[in-house]
Amino acid sequence: MNLTEMDKIWVSETVEKIKNKMYAVTERNVDKIPYTTKDGVFDDRSDKDNISWWTNGFWGGIMWQMFSLTGEKLYEETAKKLEEKLDVVLMSAQGLDHDNGFKWLPTAVANYRATGSKESYNRGILAANNLAGRFNLAGRFIRAWNDWGTDDHRGWAIIDCMMNLPLLYWASETTGDPRFRQIAMAHADTAQRCFVRDDGSVNHIVEFDPETGDMVQSYGGQGYGVGSSWTRGQSWGLYGFMLSYLHTKEERYLNTARRIAHYFISNTPENGLIPVDFRQPSECSWEDSTAAAIAACGLLEMSKHVEERDSQIYLLAALRMLKALEEKRCNWKPEVDHLLEKCTAAYHDKDHEFAIIYGDYYFIEALMKLSAHELFIW
């Protein structure tokens, strides 16, 4: 990446701050699978009621990125312990869903890529086969969620699934079986057609008729409302289509990722801090730091695969958000477990602006990209 000398210094200093904080945090939390913090202390989602939670792979992902950076055995051992805990999920029909990629790409697949573990390979392939089995042939989409509540989810698909497709690409690349890639591309093509709007914004949820495959309607989901612009959804789409391009080299995916990126950049506030929804009411100040970190990762990856002039646009947009997070939204105190603050899961949830583990993961991943220490997980 074409970083200035000042940017190189900032990256080096920020990576050093991450190293200084994360070892102490990890020592305190070797047996946990965290999602958020209370009073600066990680919770633990490894109990039987929460072991299937969709974010349970990200702490493992942080461990593998830190191991790639430092070589410290503490990180490797903690990651492997978490991976083994997730084995019970592989035997749970309700625990397996469209988020299999989020659970096993940063854990089992990362372990396989780092160490060649046969056990980890087996876990990754099992998760990929289950994800492929969620494919609706009529609508050419991967079904989101399982049955819960009163809604009929049989025809639901969500933009988040774009980030889970790399599990299928990896399965094809490692087994030589093209069916995984074919399913991933079919879903990506449907998402391109039905999720991405003309202006580059994206829908969160799209409902299809599960029998005919026809699109029925879209939902606001975790954003402000129907037709709004949930920022984490924008970032899932931006990074997700970029990853589909990396695995397939199909220009249509790169072009779609760029369209979403241009929308995201043009709507980024001057201070570089990202709201929960780009179309939320003007009097609402809620932020989602995770959307900034995820989008930055996608933009950094994009900057490697376009012409130099455009590359700088994406690189500078990513740096702007990352520097804003580092200066204004990171808690660098070693006694506090989380890193990013002001993360929000959904606009209409009761709670807003708290710590969320995937925010920490993507912030660290972005800095690993910038410092050339990344273990490529996706």
In whole angstroms, give the CA distance from residue 117 to residue 210: 38
Given the DSSP bridges, would you call strands 205-208 and 215-219 parallel, antiparallel or unpaired? antiparallel
Residue 148 has pLDDT above 90, yes or no: no
pLDDT digits (tens, 9 = 90+) for 79-125: 999 999 999 999 999 999 999 999 999 999 999 999 999 999 999 99
Residue 370 has pLDDT above 90, yes or no: yes
Burial class from Cβ neighbours inside 10 Å (0-12, 13-18, 19+) for residue 48 reads exposed
How far the first Cα of the chain sits from its last, in Å, is 19
Q: How far is CA 208 from CA 133, 191, 366, in A?
A: 17, 12, 35
- Please name the residues in contact with 98: beta carbons below 8 A apart, sequence gap of 6 or more: 131, 134, 142, 143, 144, 145, 158, 160, 161, 164
- Please name the residues in contact with 159: beta carbons below 8 A apart, sequence gap of 6 or more: 191, 195, 202, 203, 204, 205, 233, 236, 237, 240
pLDDT digits (tens, 9 = 90+) for 255-275: 999 999 999 999 999 999 999
Query: What are the contacts of 192-196 at 24+ separation with CB within 8 A?
Result: 192/241, 192/252, 192/253, 192/256, 194/157, 194/218, 195/157, 195/159, 195/237, 196/237, 196/256, 196/259, 196/260
Res. 149 pLDDT band, cuts 50 70 90: confident
Is 160 a known active-site residue? yes
> Buried b / exposed e across 194-231, counting CB within 10 Å, b at 16+?
bbbeeebbbbbbbbbebeeeebeebbbbbbbeeebbbb
Is 99 a known active-site residue? yes
pLDDT digits (tens, 9 = 90+) for 154-164: 999 999 999 99
Percent of the chain beyond pLDDT 70?
Answer: 100
| Mean pLDDT along residues 219-247 | 97
pLDDT digits (tens, 9 = 90+) for 326-345: 999 999 999 999 999 999 99
CA dihedral of 148, 153, 158, 164, whole degrees rounded to 10? 70
Domains detected in the chain: 5-371 (1.50.10.10)
Residue 140 has pLDDT above 90, yes or no: yes
Tokens 């990256």: give the residue.
Answer: 11
Catalytic residue among 97, 160, 288, 360: 160
With residue 254 as reference, give the H or E element that holds it.
helix 251-267
pLDDT digits (tens, 9 = 90+) for 261-320: 999 999 999 999 999 999 999 999 999 999 999 999 999 999 999 998 899 999 999 999
What are the structure tokens assigned to 355, written together?
């710590």
In whole angstroms, give the CA distance from residue 277 to residue 230: 4
Tokens 């799209």: give the residue.
Answer: 206
pLDDT digits (tens, 9 = 90+) for 173-187: 999 999 999 999 999
Percent of the chain beyond pLDDT 90?
Answer: 97
Tokens 């069916």: give the residue.
Answer: 179
Catalytic residue among 97, 99, 277, 360: 99
